[in-house]
Amino acid sequence: MLPLIRTRTVGRLLAVPATATALAAFAASSAHADTTAADTGWTVDLSVDADDVNVVNDGTALRLRSAQAGPASLEGAEASGQLVAAPKDFSEPVNRVRAEVAGRTGGVAVEVRGHLGGTAWSEWLPAGSVLPQAVTRVQARITLTGKAAPSVRSVRLTADRVGGPSSRIAAAPLTYRVYATREGLVGGTTANGHVITDRDHFVALPSRRGLSPINTGTYSVRVCKTDGSLCEYAPVWDVGPWNTRDDYWNAARQMWTDLPRGKPEAQAAYQDGYNGGKDEFGRTVANPAGIDLADGTFWDGLKLTNNAWVNVTYLWTGTGAKGVVGTGGGTLNVRAAASTSAAIKGLAANRANVIIECSVRGQSVTGTYGTTDVWNRIGSGHYISDAYTYTGSDDPIAPAC
């Protein structure tokens, strides 16, 4: 274990996290509903709270609040809203959650994810799917889509454990070269309910399977210029561009299953005339974008001046120790070495979940989580101070570099 220099009144394990970032991470890993035995059903609470977006419960059903609102990145192509239920804990591991939906009208999707430990969760999968591994905590999400008054009266879930092969998460996260466009749309609302600010820092991907709940970075990416000179670590907060069911980074993708893994449908439509050159909504695809970048990520993190090809690493697709960047707002410089005088290699956005490959001793820094000389390597030649990384521990959580 690395020697540690840190001053604080109480350690991380006992302290209430001081920032919204830490609160989100703490809630994701520590919030408990009633513990339930496997094979026992429960009814989802459909009352609306702060982490839900564009839905309302009128006393009889969950409905869209506005049939004109949807993910900002889609620019009006789809009306949608979602309710994120409280996590549910079990006394024994489960790997499947089935749904019984009553009073369904229009587009209603029930999806589930499993807690993999720490700040890590599986992707959102349709209810009834086998999760990547057995877990003791799950969370459900109900998504309403379409302008034809989608609604649902009740959702009852049942968890169990079934046999069959497990698709465990790989050690190294996936990386693909895709075309990035600038999202802009300041003042708009993203798919998870975030209101876009000037020079904001987040990304949009064309599938809800990797959409982080508001004020969390459960699903985050590392997006880099193709020469590797600059990168940003940023949370996935919106859905788009072009499509909503194109999880092109997955082997078993939702749609467009005949396309090669790693190739967005929009790229195939634009370059090859795939699907008649159209997206899932029938719009003519005007560029091959597989990711949208908020203005701050585009201009400040990567210092782009035009849409460009980038290398995107989907950080949740890999295992390893993870931490949450906590700046209390704004961004954190990513350094080439464990010192604030080392070259800047990019930015890490507040709330981004990063993989901590290893840790080193370096310059002592005072930050959100105290004073420490520990720095975390979050990518090749990429270092951030542990003083700005919420890990749930006062000690390094990764081996020495």
- Going by C-alpha positions, the residue among 212, 208, 217, 216 that lies closest to residue 240 is 208
Q: What letter would DSSP give residue 149?
A: -
Mean pLDDT score of the chain:
90
Q: What SS3 state is found at 72?
A: helix
Mean of the pLDDT values across residues 273-291? Answer: 98
Give the span between the Cα atoms of 145 and 82, in whole angstroms: 9
Mean of the pLDDT values across residues 182-186? Answer: 97
Tens digit of each residue's pLDDT (9 = 90 or more) over 49-96: 999 999 999 999 999 999 999 999 999 999 999 999 999 999 999 999
Tens digit of each residue's pLDDT (9 = 90 or more) over 328-340: 989 999 999 999 9
Beta strands in 250-381 (DSSP E): 289-293, 308-314, 322-325, 331-335, 344-349, 353-355, 358-367, 370-379
Q: Determine the pLDDT at residue 308.
A: 98
Mean of the pLDDT values across residues 149-176? Answer: 86
Give the span between the Cα atoms of 314 and 249, in whole angstroms: 8
Tens digit of each residue's pLDDT (9 = 90 or more) over 80-137: 999 999 999 999 999 999 999 999 999 999 999 999 999 999 999 999 999 999 999 9
